[in-house]
Chain A
Amino acid sequence: MNNFFPNGWLHYLIGGLLIGSSVALLFIFNGWIAGMSTVFSSTWSYFSSLPYFKQERFISSRAWRLILAAGLIIGALIWMLMFNHGIPVHTVVPWWRLFIGGLLVGYGTRLANGCTSGHGICGLGSLQLPSLVAVITFIATAVATALIFRMVMA
């Protein structure tokens, strides 16, 4: 077990169950599907007149998607204040890897219409075969890329 989970396993499972509960509650109360990457396209519909962003599916969901995103920030803030002694999380991944990686994540998730939460949790949770293909594809290319970076950087 320790070889697979050197940092323990319980917090991973608890976090996953909380994320699943959030997705379930949004569905039970409002009937909505909680993928995260759509917020980028739907928020652009406020600022851009491009026909792509003016689609009904973006305009009709853009307000609640922004509220959901604000909740994400508040939830992580509560965790930091209550369970991490107010200590901010730190990363040593260099800015250019974060930025260039982020560009590809933004472009790719919107082209594929889903990310780790949209295809991963909501898509698999609704037994969608296209989402399974998406998940296998992005995990495969992510593993390959991360391994290459680890070799080159080492």
Chain B
Amino acid sequence: MNLRQAIITLICGVLFGFGLAVSTMISPEVILSFLTGRDFGLLLVMGGGVFITLLAYQFVPHWMKRPVFAESFRVRESVLNRNTVVGSALFGVGWGMCGVCPGPAIAGLGAGNWMLGYALLGMIIGAYVQGRTAKLAAIQ
């Protein structure tokens, strides 16, 4: 990573965190209101995010041979297996319990929502346990 890439990354992070704050996703109460059917705002956040991302991922590689500051465009390759489903199911149980997912857990600290530190600490430990117990044969 060179300096130009680092600066762009920081700017993107600021935009992302600002967007999470504007859309009140850093309030667990708002997430829990969505999950209990009282406020459908989260669908607009997801929809707006997916819309712009879809345009960029689908069209930009046709317009540009390579990214501005890099050699090639990365491709997200999701796999569908037992881990995808079991992991997502467990993530959902946790999300429904605390109302915080990884982005807001990090961004929330910037907006002084210190309580989200408990969620962030849990995520850091949970990610370690996952890596610790992962079957090496299943990697790659």
Give residues in A with beta carbon < 8 Å to B. 4-7, 9, 11-37, 39-41, 44, 48, 50-53, 55, 63-64, 67-80, 83-84, 88-93, 95, 97-131, 133-135, 137-150
B27 and A91: CB pair below 8 A?
Answer: yes
Q: Is the CB of B49 within 8 A of A19?
A: yes
The size class of the interface chain B forms with chain A is 35 or more
| Majority-rule SS of A interface residues | helix
Contact with A along B1-34 (1 / 0, CB 8 A): 1000110111111111111111111111110100
Q: List 12 A-B contacts (CB under 8 A).
A: A28-B56, A31-B74, A44-B127, A71-B10, A71-B11, A79-B17, A88-B112, A125-B54, A134-B87, A142-B93, A145-B97, A149-B97
Residue from the list A4, A31, A107, A148 in contact with B130, Cβ < 8 A: A107
Whether A15 contacts B22 by the Cβ 8 Å rule is: yes
A127 CB contacts on chain B under 8 angstroms: 54, 58
CB pair A29–B50 under 8 Å, yes or no, is no
Roughly how many angstroms separate A12 CA and B50 CA in the complex, as a whole number?
A: 13
Q: Quick one: which of B27, B58, B76 contacts A123, CB cutoff 8 A?
A: B76
* B122 in contact with A13 (CB, 8 Å): no
**Residue contact A36 to B85, C-beta cutoff 8 Å:** no
Residues of B within 8 A of A (CB): 1, 5-6, 8-30, 32, 35-42, 44-58, 60, 64, 66-80, 83-103, 105-116, 118-132, 134, 136, 139
**Closest 6 pairs between A and B when the two form their complex, measured CB to CB:** A71-B13, A102-B122, A15-B23, A16-B48, A106-B126, A101-B98
CB distance B1 to A63 under 8 Å?
Answer: yes
| Contact, CB under 8 Å: A28 / B12 | no
The distance from the CB of A78 to the nearest CB of chain B, in whole angstroms, is: 6
Check A71 against B14 for contact (C-beta < 8 Å): yes
Q: Assess whether A80 is in contact with B111, with CB atoms less than 8 Å apart.
A: yes
For A73, list chain B residues within 8 Å (CB). 17, 106-107, 109-110
A122 CA / B74 CA spacing, docked (Å): 12
Q: In the assembly, what is the distance between CA of A50 and CA of B135, in Å?
A: 12
Of listed A104, A123, A133, residue having the most chain B CB within 10 A: A104
Complex Cα distance, B79 from A122, in Å, reads 14
Task: Give the one of B44, B67, B71, B75 with max A CB within 10 A.
Answer: B44
Contacts of B119 in A (CB 8 A): 98-99, 101-102, 105
Check if B52 sits within 8 Å of A6, measured CB to CB. Answer: no
Whether A13 and B48, one on each chain, are in contact in the complex, defined by CB atoms closer than 8 angstroms, is yes
The interface residues of chain B lying within 8 Å CB-to-CB of A124 are 50, 53-54
A120 to chain B, nearest CB (A): 6
Does A16 contact B99, Cβ atoms closer than 8 Å? no
- Chain B residues contacting A78 (CB-CB under 8 Å) are 14, 18, 110
**Min CB–CB distance A144 → chain B (angstroms):** 7
Q: Which of B6, B23, B76, B122 contacts A11 (CB 8 A)?
A: B23
